[in-house]
Amino acid sequence: MTSSNSRALTAVGAIVLFAAAFATAAPAAEKSVRWKMQSWFPSKAPHAGSTGKDIQTKIKRVSGGKFRIRFFEPGALIPPAECFDAVKNGSVDACWSTPAYWYGKEPAFALFSAAPFGPDWPGLLAWFNYHGGKEIYEKLYRKHNMHAIHCGGMIPEASGWFKKEITSVDDFKGMKIRFLGLGALVLDRLGASTQLLAGGDIFPALELGTIDATEFAAPSVDWNLGFYQIVKNYYFPGWHQPATIYDIMINLDRWNALSDTQKAQLEMVCGDNVRQAIAQGEAMQPAALTRHKGKGVNIRRWSPKILASLESTWRDVARDLSKKDETFKLAYTSLTAWQKRYSTWLNIGYLDR
C-alpha cells in the first residue's frame, strides 16, 4: 500500500468515525403527535374561541408539522360540560376552557379566572407566574390526572345585562340571573336565583323571560350574542371577573409522553397566545362599546355603594368557603396576600385614570 493510499484510508476512517459519533450524539427525530382538543367556546367568539383555534395553527408552525392539535367546535366530540371528566380519564386528549367552569369540581379553580374583586391582568400574571399561583394551579389539575397551561385570557368583563336599572343591592332579590362561579354565590346571597348557561342558550332564555339578566364576557364578545336586542342596561365594571385565564387542559399521560422540545413548543405557543389575547382584547373594546351605544344600550357604572356591598358580601362568601375547603383557602390566602403587597406598588406606580 502506498503512503498516499494509506493517508486516504486513514482520512476515510476518520470521517466514518466522526459521522458515527455525530449520529450517536444527535437527538432522535421528534415523533409525530396528533391530539384532538374539544373547545368550550366556538372559534368565532373573539378571544374566548379565537385564541383556542390559534393553538392549532401555531403549534403546527413551530413544530414543523410534527406536533398537531386539532380544534373541535363545542359539542363536536363531547358536550363542553363533559370536558373535565373526559380529559381526566383520557377519552379526549385536551380541552380548551377556563378554570372557573370547574368550580363544581373544586371551588379553588374559580380563583384563576373569576375571582371577585381580584387583581387586573398585570397583577394576576404576576401572582400566577411569580408569587405562587402557578404552583397551586398545576397541583390542582394534577390531582385530577391533568396538566394545564395558561394559554389565553379575557380582559375585564362587563358586569352584566339587566332588564331594569339597578339602584341598590335590594333590586337583586328575586331576580333570575345567568352568572358564573363565585360571583353567582355573591348574588345568591343577596337574594337572586342564579344559573349557568352556555353562551348559545342565553339569548333565548332572555327572550323567553326564563332569566331577567345575564353576564357573559367583554363588550366585543357580547356583541356577537346580540343581547342588545333585548336588554338595554349594560353594567360595568365586571367586579366578578377582572381578569380571566383561559387554558388548555391536557390528560397527564399525554403530556408526559411529549418530548421536552414538544412541551416547550406548546408552552411558547401559549405564551404568545396570552400576549395576543391581552392586546387584542383591549384593542377591540372601544369600538364594541360604540356599537352598543348606537343600538340604544345604556352603558352604566355601578355606584360606589353597590360595589361596596358586593365586595363585602364576597368577603363573607370567601371566608365561608375557606372554612369548608383547604385548597380554596390556600389559593385565596395566597391571592389576597399578593394583592395587598401589590397595592403598595399599584397605588404609587401608576397615574390615576
pLDDT for residue 102 is more than 90? yes
pLDDT mean over 62-73: 98
Q: What's the distance, Cα to Cα, between the start and end of the chain in Å?
A: 88
pLDDT tens by residue, 206-241: 999 999 999 999 999 999 999 999 999 999 999 999
Structural domains in the chain, CATH included, are 33-156+242-284 (3.40.190.170), 160-241+300-324 (3.40.190.10)
Is the distance from CB of 154 to CB of 246 less than 8 angstroms? yes
Q: What is the pLDDT of residue 12?
A: 36
- Residue 21: pLDDT band (50, 70, 90) is very low
- Residue 30: pLDDT band (50, 70, 90) is confident
pLDDT tens by residue, 310-330: 999 999 999 999 999 999 999
Kindly state the cell numbers that stand for 269.
Answer: 405557543
Kindly state the cell numbers that stand for 230.
Answer: 333585548
Count of helix runs (H) and strand runs (E) in the chain = 12, 11
pLDDT for residue 19 is more than 60? no
- Residue 28: pLDDT band (50, 70, 90) is low
Q: What is the pLDDT of residue 294?
A: 98
Longest Cα–Cα distance of the chain, Å, equals: 105
What angle is formed at CA 236 by the lines to CA 329 and CA 43, rounded to 5 degrees?
80
pLDDT tens by residue, 190-199: 999 999 988 8
Q: What is the pLDDT of residue 169?
A: 97
Q: What is the pLDDT of residue 6?
A: 42
pLDDT mean over 268-277: 96
Among positive and negative, which fits the CA dihedral 291, 294, 295, 301? positive
d(CA 35, CA 92): 8
Concatenating the DSSP letter of every residue in 312-345 gives: HHHHHHHHHHHHH-HHHHHHHHHHHHHHHHHHHH
For residue 185, the Cα-to-chain-centroid distance in whole angstroms is 20
d(CA 15, CA 301): 75
Kindly state the cell numbers that stand for 53.
Answer: 383555534
pLDDT for residue 160 is more than 60? yes
Q: What is the pLDDT of residue 221?
A: 92
